[in-house]
Structure 1
Amino acid sequence: MNRTVLLIEDNAQNRYLVTFLLERSGYRVITAVDGPEGIRKALELLPDLILLDIQLPAMDGYAVARALRAIPALQQTPIVAVTSYAMVGDREKSLGAGCNGYIEKPINPDTFVAEIGRFDPGPATDRGAT
C-alpha cells in the first residue's frame, strides 16, 4: 500500500518537483496550496507524513504546524518543514511550532526522498524503488 504524503506548498513548480520525486518512489501525494486547505485535507485524509512550506498565503507554516498539532488525530503525524527560510533560528522556530524536521530549499532531487524517509514512520518496503 502506498504511503500518503500531504504536501502544503503554494509554488506550482515546487509542488510538481516534490510530487514527481515522491510518486516515482511509491508515495501517494495529495497537495494543498495554502494553510487552511492543508489543515482541511489533513483532517480528511490523516496522511502518513506532512510536508509543509513555511511561507504560505493566508496563514504561515508556523501557524499551520501549530494548528495541526492541536488536532488529536494528527499529533503523532510527522511534519517536515520544507522551506527557503534558512536564516539562523529558522530551523528552531519550525521545530518549536511542531515540525519534526526541516529541509532547506532548493531541495536536492538526488537526496530528497531519502531525507524525508527519515521521518516516514512506515516500513521501507511500502515505498517503491527509486
Structure 2
Amino acid sequence: MTTILIVEDNEMNLDMLSRRLARKGFEILSARDGEAGVTLCRQEQPDMVLMDMSLPVMDGWTATQTLKGDEETAAIPVVALTAHAMQADKDKALDAGCDAFATKPIDLPELLSTIKRLLPA
C-alpha cells in the first residue's frame, strides 16, 4: 500500500484530506508541524509527503530543504500545499525542493493526478 505523509497544522484540512485519500486506498501518516514531519518522514520513509508551507516550529520550506538535503529522504517526492497561489509562492516552493505544487482548497482530482505522476508505477 502506498503511504503518504501529510504535514498540516490545520486540523480540519488534515482530517478532510486524510479521509479523502484513505478512501482512495492510501495509507496516511500525519504530522502537525514541520519538525515533526521531518522526524516522521525519516522514521517511516513514506512514498510521498504532502507539505503545508505555513507550519509552526519549522515551516514547510525549511522542512522540505531538510528532507531533500538528507540522502535517506531526498528521493521522496514532496508536494507543496498552500493557500498562496501566486507564481512567486510556487517558485519559492519549487526552489525549496518541492516536486510539485497544489493550492488550497485542494482539488482532489488534480492532486490525485499529481500523486500518480510522481509515484513510481
Q: TM-score range by the shorter chain?
A: over 0.9
Counterpart for residue 65 of structure 1: 64
Q: Deviations over 1:64-100 (max 9, x none)?
A: 1001111111111100001112123111110000100
CA RMSD of aligned residues (A): 1.2
CA distance in 2, matches of 1:92, 1:15: 24
Letter in 1 for 2:39: R
- The CA deviation at 1:56 is 0.4
Does 1:33 pair with 2:36?
no
CA distance in 1, matches of 2:34, 2:16: 20
Q: Which moved more, 1:60-69 or 1:111-120?
A: 111-120
Does the 8 A contact of 2:61 with 2:93 survive in 1?
A: yes
Which is higher, the Rg of structure 1 or of structure 2? Answer: 1
Q: Deviations over 1:11-61 (max 9, x none)?
A: 011111111111111100000000110000001001100000000011111
Map 1:70-85; keep pairs closer than 5 Å. 70-85=69-84
Letter in 1 for 2:93: S
Q: TM-score, normalised by structure 2?
A: 0.94
5+ unaligned residues in a row in structure 2: which ranges?
none
- The CA deviation at 1:110 is 4.4
Count of matched residue positions in the alignment of Structure 1 and Structure 2: 121
Does 1:96 pair with 2:95?
yes
5+ unaligned residues in a row in structure 1: which ranges?
124-130
- Percent identity reads 34
CA distance in 1, matches of 2:9, 2:31: 7
Tell me: higher relative CO, structure 1 or 2? Use CA pairs within 8 A at least 6 residues apart.
1
CA distance in 2, matches of 1:8, 1:75: 16
